[in-house]
Structure 1
């Protein structure tokens, strides 16, 4: 697009709305696939590995507010639409990841593991970017959807960290950053302890199933 003024902004807003609407359809498509994964896992293992699922979709206004002109829709990143999955234990985070990646109708184009290697501030979780085909009248368009998978403990930590980043406009004081990292280590230890208890429960359940009838 060329030119400037309200006309160009209106056209850009319209194009953004159309593009983000398609991204929203992609989120719903992926949400359905994830629901299938959860259902199949529950049928096999007796419980749902995902405790909570939440979707998000960027609005045209937020894109325009944050963008440095000139902006083109095709230049938008891969984080405008996504799904956040919360699991009870770290093992389930990886189980959900593996089941999702194994699907033939989901193509993972980027994967970042912040559980094995935490972020600079201590953030932990899995982040995937997947391609999702969205069929409309006369065409199929591929959109990107970000998938964040973490435990409830990781989610609680990230909630507080996000509020701190917002409060200090992304420039959190060093002493608070140090406290964030320390809290992240404590959260990691708690996840490990909870995971150990979960494995104990699973081992007892497997032993009960394999035991010969009395």
Structure 2
């Protein structure tokens, strides 16, 4: 976290950092258990972040919680801690999700499957909101968002994010349409790659 974020979260900052590390350790243990004889990692990479002070405050305003204290903010957001697990194949996304459901170290609060039901703009990802124990500073639990997606989905989301926050883009409407087309084509490619993988592994 940056200094501004430490100042905003105050005494809760170390708690958030500890919980972020704890979630990552649980996920790494889980992913390592999937190792095959070829030592292929189930995930291409795993990233995490604690929501910045600016982002948290913007979200609180949208939700009608402006000028609230940090504890209330943490109790009323589901992604103060965010973790992104990027996989090679769609099948890996759901394999990891199935294992997440089996873990008793956290509770699953909500699941948003934007792979089966993409957003209108073409966004695809599997979002899993989990609740993890804290029992410090008056907080019994805290919520974190796990995002599971393929490399292709992650690449698309990164480009879409750049478009969303960059001003004065020329031919913006045309680019939005093109990005949506790319989302559909990449989804089709993801499915084809999954099928080829299964055929190679003699599962089809």
CA distance in 2, matches of 1:176, 1:127: 26
2:46 corresponds to which of 53, 59, 66: 53
Runs of at least 5 residues in structure 2 that lack an aligned partner in the other structure: 1-5
2:187 paired residue number: 188
Deviates more, 1:64-73 or 1:16-25: 64-73
What is the CA deviation profile of residues 157-194 of structure 1, one whole-angstrom value per residue up to 9, with x for unaligned ones? 1111000001149xx94322221211100111110111
* Higher Rg of the two aligned structures: 1
CA distance in 2, matches of 1:141, 1:60: 22
Aligned length: 191
1:70 paired residue number: 67
Contact 2:79/2:144 (CA < 8 Å) preserved in 1? yes
- Distance change in 2, residues 1:140/1:165 (3 Å): closer
Give yes or no for the alignment of 1:156 onto 2:155: yes
2:22 corresponds to which of 10, 29, 37: 29
Superposed CA RMSD in Å reads 2.8
CA distance in 1, matches of 2:10, 2:91: 38
Q: Aligned runs of 1:111-130 on 2, under 5 Å?
A: 111-130=111-130
Contact 2:51/2:82 (CA < 8 Å) preserved in 1? no
Secondary structure in 2 matching 1:158: helix
Q: TM-score, normalised by structure 1?
A: 0.78
CA distance in 1, matches of 2:191, 2:36: 26
Runs of at least 5 residues in structure 1 that lack an aligned partner in the other structure: 1-12, 207-214
CA distance in 2, matches of 1:107, 1:167: 37
CA distance in 1, matches of 2:86, 2:181: 22
